[in-house]
Amino acid sequence: MTSEDPSPQDHGPEREAIAGACRVLAHRGLADGILGHISLRIAEDTLLVRCRGPRERGLAYTRAEDIRLVDLDGNPAAVGELGGGYTVPNELPLHTELFRRRTDLRAVVHAHPPRVVAADLAGLTVRPIVGAYDIPGTRLAADGVPVYPRGVLIRNRRLAAEMADAMGARPVVVLRGHGLTSAAETVERAVLQAISVDSLAGLALKVASAGGELVDLPDADMAELPDLGGAFNTGTAWRHELARLGERC
């Protein structure tokens, strides 16, 4: 940091949480390299978002100082937040359009999982093909995962509106030839949703490559899947993700 770019002081825990979530995405292979970002709504018109700095090293090396406070138009919401060469993501409208439309959302994840992209391009949709293997993922897939059919950089509100229209009220949308967007009430939930979609896409590719047929879980089996609760589905699952990184949790 330079004197012109003071380390942000406010919302320290939230910045740390977003930075950790970026590292989880990278460790899981959903955001390899320097592409991908996570945001968290702080107030009606402000959000924390992973920005690119002058010493960019990729999502796997994200730190709290890479998380900056901006408004819905990408302007710094606090003095110094975009100092020192930090810039907002080109696809910031992807985040802000969802926040403008959906008051139920606080966190948005954008990632580039190769298995999700490959499965979609192969004509394989995200379906509830497993059961107790991943109960939250199965329930998510059973309700449908829509696809935004354009492989574009979502760099303005017009394109973001198209993506949001495709997503509708669902928590995840696949972006053809691009990746996915996952949104939820917490950063942790949004990342875990993306991991589930990636896992299902990977299994679908394996089944198809082995010559098998994708078959949805029968309704009778779906009815037997219990809701293990947020403490397990999110809390315990997230501690596991941080532990995989060797981080304190």
Q: What is the pLDDT at residue 121?
A: 98
- Position 248 confidence tier, pLDDT thresholds 50, 70, 90: low
**Nearest CA among 79, 90, 9 for reference residue 49:** 90
SS3 state of residue 235: helix
Residue, of 144 and 80, whose pLDDT is higher:
144
pLDDT digits (tens, 9 = 90+) for 55-70: 899 999 999 999 999 9
pLDDT above 60: residue 92: yes
Whole-number Å distance between alpha carbons of 199 and 99: 27
Query: What does DSSP assign to residue 5?
Result: S
pLDDT above 50: residue 233: yes
Active site residues: 91
pLDDT above 90: residue 50: yes
For 12-244, CATH number?
A: 3.40.225.10
- Position 231 confidence tier, pLDDT thresholds 50, 70, 90: confident
pLDDT above 50: residue 24: yes
Q: What is the pLDDT at residue 247?
A: 75
Q: Provide the token pair at 178.
A: 């691009």
Q: What is the pLDDT at residue 78?
A: 86
Whole-number Å distance between alpha carbons of 201 and 243: 24
Would you state the torsion angle of the CA atoms of residues 109, 112, 115, 117, taken in this order, to the nearest 10 degrees? 110
Mean pLDDT, the chain, rounded, equals: 94
